[in-house]
Amino acid sequence: MPGAASAATQTPPACPDRGQPLVRVTLSDPEPRLLAPRPARELRAQAGASEGPVHLHHLGLTLSRVEWQSDIVVRSQGAQAGPVCAVPAEVRVVLRHAEHAIRLAREIPAESCLAREVMAHEHRHVAVNRRTLQEAATELRGLARGWAASAEATAPDIAAAAATLQDDLARTLEPALERLRQARAAGHAAIDTAEEYERLGRVCPADQRRLRAALGG
C-alpha cells in the first residue's frame, strides 16, 4: 500500500565520526582486611566443605569477590524520531576487589608460630588474587580499546543503541573475566596441595599439640 515508509524499510542512518574514543580501565585493589578469628568449623562451612572432622585446610580462609562495571558515553546520529546509529565516545570500566579478607581459626594459638605459618599460607592466596586481578585489568584495557575503535549500534533510539553497546562490550570482556576465574582456580590449587598441608602439620609442634586439644582431637 502506498504511503510513508515503515521503520523496517527505512534506510539505516549513517554513523557519526567516532574520533578517538576515550577508554579508561580502573583497578581497585586495596590491601586485604584481617577479620576476627572464628571457630574452625565455621571456616569449614564457609569454604563449602562437607560435614566431618576439621582439617588443616580449615584453619585459615581467604575471602575474595571481584566485581566489574562499565559506563559508556555515546555519540549518535539520526533523525529525531529515530532510528539512530551510536558509537562509543567514552568507555569507563572499573574492576575491583569488592571483598578481600583473611580469617584464621580461633583455635590457633594467638600470635604463635603456627598462626604465622597459616597466615603466610593465606598470603600466598592473596598474592594469586592480586596478581590475576592485575593481569585481568591489563587484558580488559586492551579489549576495551579494540572494541571502542570499531563498535557501533543502530537502534530505534539513543537509549536502545546505548544498551546494545553495553551488551556488546560485556560479551567482548567476558572471555577475559573467565580467564581470570580460571587463573585464580589454578593458582589456588597449586598452593593447596597435600604436600603443603603435610608441611603445615609438621611445623610448630608445641602449637600443634595445643591446636589438637582445642579441636578435641
For 21-78, the pLDDT digits (tens) are 999 999 999 999 999 999 988 888 887 765 544 456 678 999 999 999 999 999 998 8
Look up the pTM and report it.
0.86
Close Cβ partners of 172 (under 8 Å, ≥ 6 residues apart): 143, 144, 147
Q: What is the CA radius of gyration of the chain?
A: 26
Question: What is the b/e burial string over 190-207, where b = at least 16 CB atoms within 10 angstroms of the residue's CB?
Answer: eeeeeeeeeebeeebeeb
For 150-202, the pLDDT digits (tens) are 999 999 999 999 999 999 999 999 999 999 999 999 999 999 998 998 898 88
DSSP 94-109: EEEEEEEEEEEBTTSP
State whether the Cα torsion 82-85-90-91 is positive or negative: positive
